[in-house]
């Protein structure tokens, strides 16, 4: 049986997240005005973020989805990236905006950008809700970033802990992950 959700530390409130999503949507709309925008969301983590972002975009956009695995049921990236679900359509000639939930090591994002550039988009920019630079292993360039967060295990608003807590409208550190040496919370 699952333990009851206990918030150890609140990182970002629902209001803070929604305000920033609106700001990002405004900037993206401005930058993509008159362009052929294809928003590519990385599943599963980015699905809530991209849905909220989409509702605030002021430019026409098409949407597609990728599913990748680099964590499994762990909380730290394994470094090996596998595409579980590829795009349904070609990105060739599109102005692609790749939307991630969080960038930490940069390994997944590096793999995805190389894969997408090989498919000949007109342009490729990156939008991530969260950036955790303390864990970076390869350099990445984020064109749009919601928030930088400390090196803590964050869940909620699409981010999960072994498949749970994605539906929380805020981002937090589970209480069990604040305990020094808690297994699975690095």
**pLDDT at residue number 1:** 39
**pLDDT at residue number 6:** 82
**pLDDT at residue number 162:** 82
Give me the residue spans of the domains in the chain. 7-177
Which top CATH class is 7-177?
alpha beta
104 is catalytic: yes
SS (H, E, C) the chain: CCCCCCEEEEEECHHHHHHHHHHHHHHHHHHCCCCCEEEEEEECCCHHHHHHHHHHCCCCEEEEEEEEECCCCCCCCCCCCEEEECCCCCCCCCEEEEEEEEECCCHHHHHHHHHHHCCCCCEEEEEEEEECHHHCCCCCCCCEEEEECCCCCCEECCECECCECCCCCCEEEEHHHCCCCCCCCC
Q: Which of 101, 104, 131, 160 is catalytic?
A: 104
Residues of the chain with pLDDT under 70: 1-4, 71-79, 180-186
**pLDDT at residue number 185:** 67
**pLDDT at residue number 69:** 82
């Amino acid at each position: 049986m699952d333990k009851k959700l206990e918030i150890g530390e609140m990182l970002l409130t629902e209001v803070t997240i929604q305000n920033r999503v609106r700001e990002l949507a405004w900037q993206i709309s401005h930058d993509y005005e008159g362009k052929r925008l294809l928003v590519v969301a990385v599943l599963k983590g980015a699905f809530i973020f991209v849905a909220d972002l989409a509702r605030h975009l002021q430019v026409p956009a098409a949407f597609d989805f990728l599913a990748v695995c680099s964590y499994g049921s762990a909380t730290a990236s394994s470094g090996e990236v596998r595409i579980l679900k590829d795009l349904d359509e070609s990105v060739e000639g599109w102005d692609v905006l790749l939307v991630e939930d969080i960038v930490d090591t940069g390994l997944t994002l590096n793999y995805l950008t190389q894969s997408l550039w090989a498919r000949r988009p007109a342009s490729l920019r990156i939008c991530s809700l969260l950036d955790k630079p303390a864990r970076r292993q390869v350099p990445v360039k984020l064109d749009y970033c919601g928030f930088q967060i400390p090196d803590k295990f964050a869940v909620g608003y699409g981010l999960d802990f072994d498949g749970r807590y994605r539906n929380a409208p805020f981002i937090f550190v589970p209480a069990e992950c604040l305990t020094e040496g808690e297994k699975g919370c690095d």
